[in-house]
């Protein structure tokens, strides 16, 4: 992916990034209802009720962005930060100190690093959503503080040094991709390869007790309806809301935020059930 950023135009990078997010990123949240069903072996009537509630939370998230964007955006970043950190670390090291706090800090580090490196585009999108210009210095301090605290907690947790070095290498690779790619491709790289694919493996293992090819096919078939519904909602919003092309990225990230709220909750419950 890093070599890819050197070879193609920024426009093509954005297209590839969008395809990755829409095809794999959204797919990784397409079977949340099936996961809920497994929690309590839910009956069909309750399943429908959960479906309505789930969709309701999605619309509530979108409405929150429309009505109170200054509150919705920080909430989305915090929820997503915890969700990213939980997925990355939940099964990698059960001995980390202050686990929930660590998950949140790691996710904040990823977001801050992305917003700092892609400062100009990020600032435009944030200002379009909340009407506030966030200085680049905020992301510099946030990246440094969260990154150093994550490293300190890893050291205090007495993890294997090779493991810590490997995570530092990962962070270095992310830095290079964030630096060379466009905002969309940079986000897509982390969202798909560092988050969505590992999440898919965790979900498939939880649902089918295996990670075979057949289990993956079954997962995709099961989530196809929700995946199509999510894509259709985005297309409808783009067609009927009066938005210039410069505002499409803002709409796109609001759309991701709206579907992230219920998904993050379901994943948190899934990890608790697995413990």
DSSP conformation letters of 221-268: HHHHHHHHHHHHHHHHHHHHS---GGGHHHHHHHHHHHHHHHHHHHHH
Q: How is residue 28 annotated by DSSP?
A: G
Distance CA 230, CA 224 (A): 10
Q: For residues 266 and 260, what is the distance between their CA atoms, to the nearest angstrom?
A: 10
As to burial, measured by CB atoms within 10 angstroms (0-12 exposed, 13-18 middle, 19+ buried), residue 94 is exposed
Q: Are 115 and 122 in contact (CB under 8 A)?
A: yes
Specify the higher pLDDT residue, 110 or 232: 110
Supply the pLDDT for residue 180.
85
Q: Please enumerate, as own/partner, the contacts of 252-257 that have beta carbons within 8 Å and a separation of 24 or more.
A: 252/18, 253/125, 253/129, 254/62, 254/65, 254/129, 255/62, 256/21, 256/25, 257/61, 257/65, 257/72, 257/73, 257/76, 257/80
H or E segment to which residue 57 belongs: helix 44-67
pLDDT digits 0-9 by tens, 177-186: 898 888 989 9
Q: Render pLDDT for 110-156 as a digit per residue (tens, 0 to 9).
A: 999 999 999 988 998 888 888 888 899 999 999 999 999 999 988 88
Mean pLDDT of the chain: 84
Instruction: Indicate whether 207 pLDDT > 80.
Output: yes
Structural domains in the chain (count): 1
SS3 content of the chain, % helix, strand, coil (to 5): 85, 0, 15
5-14, 30-39, 109-118, range with greatest mean pLDDT: 109-118
Each residue of 73-119: pLDDT tens digit? Answer: 999 999 999 999 999 888 776 667 788 899 999 999 999 999 999 99
User: Looking at residue 94, what is its pLDDT?
Assistant: 63
pLDDT reading at 215 higher than 90: yes
DSSP line for 138-176? HHHHHHHHHHHHHHHHHHHTT--HHHHHHHHHHHHHHHH
Per residue in 243-261, pLDDT (tens digit) is 555 567 777 888 888 888 8
Q: Residue 244: what pLDDT? A: 53
Over residues 13-39, mean pLDDT: 85
pLDDT-derived band at 58, boundaries 50, 70, 90: confident
**What does R_g of the chain's alpha carbons equal in angstroms?**
19
**29-33, 110-114, 156-160, 207-211: least confidently modelled range:** 156-160
DSSP state of 26: T
pLDDT classification of 238: cutoffs 50, 70, 90: low
Q: How much of the chain, in percent, has pLDDT values that exceed 70?
A: 88
Amino acid 4: pLDDT: 57
Task: Give the domain range for residue 79.
Answer: 2-274
- The fraction of the chain above a pLDDT of 90, given in percent, is 31
Closest CA to 102 of 161, 178, 157: 157
Which residue has tokens 């977001």?
111
């Amino acid at each position: 992916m890093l070599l890819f950023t050197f070879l193609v135009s920024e426009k093509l990078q954005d297209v590839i990034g969008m395809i990755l997010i829409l095809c794999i990123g959204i797919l990784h949240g397409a079977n949340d209802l099936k996961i809920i069903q497994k929690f309590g072996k839910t009956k069909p009537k309750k399943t429908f009720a959960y479906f309505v509630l789930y969709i309701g939370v999605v619309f509530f998230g979108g409405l929150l962005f429309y009505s109170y964007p200054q509150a919705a955006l920080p909430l989305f970043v915090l929820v997503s930060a915890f969700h990213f950190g939980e997925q990355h670390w939940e099964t990698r090291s059960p001995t980390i100190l202050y686990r929930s706090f660590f998950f949140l800090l790691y996710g904040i580090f990823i977001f801050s690093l992305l917003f700092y490196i892609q400062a100009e585009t990020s600032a435009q999108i944030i200002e379009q959503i909340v009407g506030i210009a966030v200085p680049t210095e905020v992301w510099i301090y946030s990246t440094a503080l969260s990154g150093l605290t994550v490293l300190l907690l890893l050291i205090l947790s007495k993890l294997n040094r090779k493991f810590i070095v490997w995570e530092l290498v990962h962070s270095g690779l992310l830095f290079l991709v964030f630096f060379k790619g466009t905002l969309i491709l940079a986000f897509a790289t982390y969202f798909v390869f560092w988050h969505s694919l590992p999440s898919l493996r965790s979900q498939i293992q939880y649902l089918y007790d295996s990670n075979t090819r057949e289990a993956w096919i079954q997962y995709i078939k099961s989530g196809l309806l929700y995946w199509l519904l999510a894509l259709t909602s985005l297309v409808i919003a783009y067609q009927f809301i009066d938005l210039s092309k410069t505002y499409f990225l803002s709409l796109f990230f609001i759309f991701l935020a709206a579907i992230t709220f219920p998904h993050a909750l379901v994943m948190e419950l899934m990890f608790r059930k697995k413990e």
